[in-house]
Amino acid sequence: MESLAIYAPRLVTTKEYLASGHRACSGCGEVLAVRLTCKALGRNVIIVNATGCMEIVSSQLPYTSWEVPWIHTLFENTAAVASGIEAGIKVLSRKGGYSQKTKVVAMAGDGGTMDIGLQALSGALERGHNFIYICYDNEAYMNTGIQRSSATPFGASTTTSPAGKISIGQTSWKKNMPAIAAAHDIPYVATACTSYPFDLMNKVKKAMKVEGPAYIHVLSVCPTGWRLPSDLTIKAGRLAVETGVFPLYEIEAGKYTLNFDFPQLRPVEDYLKLQGRFRHLSKEVVAQIQERVKAEYAKLKRKVIQGS
Amino acid sequence: MEKDETIEIRWHGRGGQGAVTSAELLALAAINEGKFAQAFPSFGPERRGAPVLAFNRISNVGHIRVRAAVTNPDVVVVLDPGLIYITDVTSGLKQDGIVVVNTPKSLADIKSELSGPWKLAVVNATVIAREALGIPIVNTAMLGALLKATEILGLESLVEPIKERFGPRAKNNIDACHRAYEETLMAELSVVGQGPRKAFETERLLSWQELLPGCVVIEAGNAKQYRTGDWKSQHPVWDQQRCIKCGICSLFCPEGCIGQNKEGDFEANMYYCKGCGICARECWTEAITMVEET
Ligand SMILES: Cc1ncc(C[n+]2csc(CCOP(=O)(O)OP(=O)(O)O)c2C)c(N)n1
Ligand code: SF4
Ligand code: SF4
């Protein structure tokens, strides 16, 4: 559990910038992540939102859940549109037509970020636009019905990597997207998860203060795609962190910090057995995943100790 | 089934309850009996919890050419007890059609809530599913109820498709199906009477003439008008004695629908609550319990 005073939730603003009446699945962790992010961002933002669950559930004609300026983009060009808006704000400010410090915030799913939108994202990070990019990673293309992406974990069954008599489901390891973002030498990279709401909101607030690109990768539990009872959304996210499957860390100007360190990681099985998408896994495959998680966690800790 | 007949079935369920799986299993069973069959869902953005539809056509005449949604069904099957209060489940149902309802209520109670020139079949599939499967997924139980009410196929024809689909969990599903078959009760509905008590006013959809050109939406956050509260099959209830007023439930609610009332007590706005159960699961003091909708 996050070390927090028990009454800390009462300190969070009750103001919502993502209105109720959105059509996300019952128990959706991704919409919760967006809701909390928006609380941390506040009013003075322009949100650039790729196609995907979050766009669909929040903007069904004639309704919108958005209480802040919001634009829907394609998969390919989310970061490019954000770059354009940021550049536009700069020009307007220079010409004296605009005096506010409005933050441009791009949002996309893992498919939109790690597969289809990666080129535009890389360009925007490399050019150094002053914006935040948030990837809501639910580990597959969920809006269209659970197709595998490069974020889908090894061994997960999806509709395009189905488990069967021979197949174990996804046969590749999850792409390390925060490392790719960090390789652009940007000022701020962080991972977060809805099960740690204060950590998530603090990271968003930190990213707001950064001059230049900031990238936040939020593990967003999707009960529908992960085949999980809807009340276990928060618990599943917590287990992802406690097992070391999804460590929470920050990279500030190249320096690594682990936000929650566990001297003793929980066995990955605790996390896997909760979810229908891993139900078919044999002991051997679970052991293989355990090895990998240990090795990756050790790698991360070395970076933390070395400072970069 | 008569010799040259095509029967149309409409399934009413909630996203995630397995209406589509039911329809598919039924079609496979029909095909195994040498009949012709279709099974398909209604496509839309509806998500887990939202009311959804699935359809079957079963024929012993020949190929079924129609591909459209079923609007004048011979049979409707209602998987979720709450749905009869929020959607018009008998819409377009043919004269002498059959309504098969999962409900904890007695035959007499439901008879007082539905009326029309139809037959009624009721079963408490939620209890059966909980006991047979350990979870309230009622789709296989409702297949049993459907076959009892309509006799369109032999019950044993479902065994193979269920085995194929559920593997190690097949036996429990077959048990649920058989038990529901045994426990389904039938009655004639009275032709006149009042309609079901509506939980909410039915939403009026805008016509295209009322939309602004370019599909512009000018009111920020107007989704607040949209009711998602009828997606739920359970709702949270607070024990205010146990509640320490920490507010963790309100932080974790994906709908952002938990707040404090004038007395300072936390409560959920039922207009939006989708019944996910996160608040009850995450409450430190276990002050919240989920109660099934009836
Ligand atoms: C170029 C392109 N390909 C495919 C689609 C269809 N499509 C719409 S949403 C979606 C899935 C999005 O997945 P992800 O980005 O992971 O977000 P999620 O829905 O999981 O939040 C797809 C494939 C599209 N809109 N554009
Ligand atoms: S599919 Fe998953 S991410 Fe999409 S709305 Fe449903 S729970 Fe949320
Ligand atoms: S069950 Fe609780 S957490 Fe879920 S939508 Fe309802 S009030 Fe919110």
CATH of the domain at A277: 3.40.50.970
Place of tokens 């007695």: B106
Q: How far apart are CA B185 and CA B142, in angstroms?
A: 13
**Confidence category of residue A55, pLDDT binned at 50, 70, 90:** very high
- Give the A:B interface size as CB pairs under 8 Å: 147
pLDDT for residue B50 is more than 90: no
- Distance set, CA A289 to CA A242, A263, A303 (Å): 15, 19, 21
What pLDDT is attached to residue B47? 80
pLDDT for residue A147 is more than 90: yes
pLDDT for residue A125 is more than 80: yes
- Shortest alpha-carbon distance between residue A300 and chain B (Å): 29
B211 touches A63 (CB < 8 A): no
CATH topology of domain B227-292: Alpha-Beta Plaits (3.30.70)
Cross-strand pairs, B235: B291
What pLDDT is attached to residue A259? 97
What pLDDT is attached to residue B46? 67
What pLDDT is attached to residue A2? 55
**A60 contacts chain B (CB < 8 A):** yes
Q: Mean pLDDT over residues A112-135, rounded?
A: 98
Domain boundaries, chain B: 6-188, 227-292
The interface pTM score, or ipTM, of the predicted complex is: 0.95
pLDDT for residue A152 is more than 70: yes
What letter would DSSP give residue A108? E
What pLDDT is attached to residue B223? 94
Burial class (CB in 10 A: 0-12, 13-18, 19+), A99: exposed
**B251 contacts chain A (CB < 8 A):** yes
Using one digit for the tens of pLDDT, what is the confidence trace for A253-281?
A: 999 999 999 889 999 999 999 999 999 99
Q: Give domain B6-188's CATH architecture.
A: 3-Layer(aba) Sandwich (3.40)
What pLDDT is attached to residue B191? 81
What pLDDT is attached to residue B85? 84
What letter would DSSP give residue A135? E
Using one digit for the tens of pLDDT, what is the confidence trace for B181-211?
A: 999 999 998 887 666 655 555 556 678 888 8
Q: Among the atoms of ligand 1, which is closest to the Cα of residue A220?
A: 21
Number of domains in chain A: 1
Q: Mean pLDDT over residues A148-152, rounded?
A: 98
pLDDT for residue A119 is more than 80: yes
Range of the domain at A192: 4-306
What pLDDT is attached to residue A187? 98
What pLDDT is attached to residue B203? 58
Q: Which residues line ligand 2 (CB under 6 A)?
A: A 24-25, 28, 30-31, 53, 57, 138, 142-143, 222-225; B 47-48
Q: What percent of chain A has pLDDT over 90?
A: 92
pLDDT for residue B3 is more than 80: no
pLDDT for residue B44 is more than 90: no
Q: What is the pTM of this model?
A: 0.87
What pLDDT is attached to residue B45? 64
- Give residue B275's region: left, alpha or beta (phi > 0; psi -120 to 50): left
Q: B200 or B76: whose pLDDT is higher? A: B76
Q: Among the atoms of ligand 1, which is closest to the Cα of residue A56?
A: 9
What pLDDT is attached to residue A9? 86
What pLDDT is attached to residue A10? 86
Which A residues in the span 181-220 are in contact with B, Cβ-Cβ below 8 Å? 197
Beta strands in chain B (DSSP E): 6-14, 36-41, 51-59, 75-78, 98-102, 119-123, 185-188, 234-238, 258-260, 266-268, 288-292
Task: Report the range of poorest mean pLDDT among A71-80, A138-147, B78-87, B158-167.
Answer: B78-87
Averaged pLDDT score across all residues of chain B: 90
Length of chain B: 294
Q: Mean pLDDT over residues A234-254, rounded?
A: 97
Closest by Cβ to B225, choosing from A14, A22, A63: A63
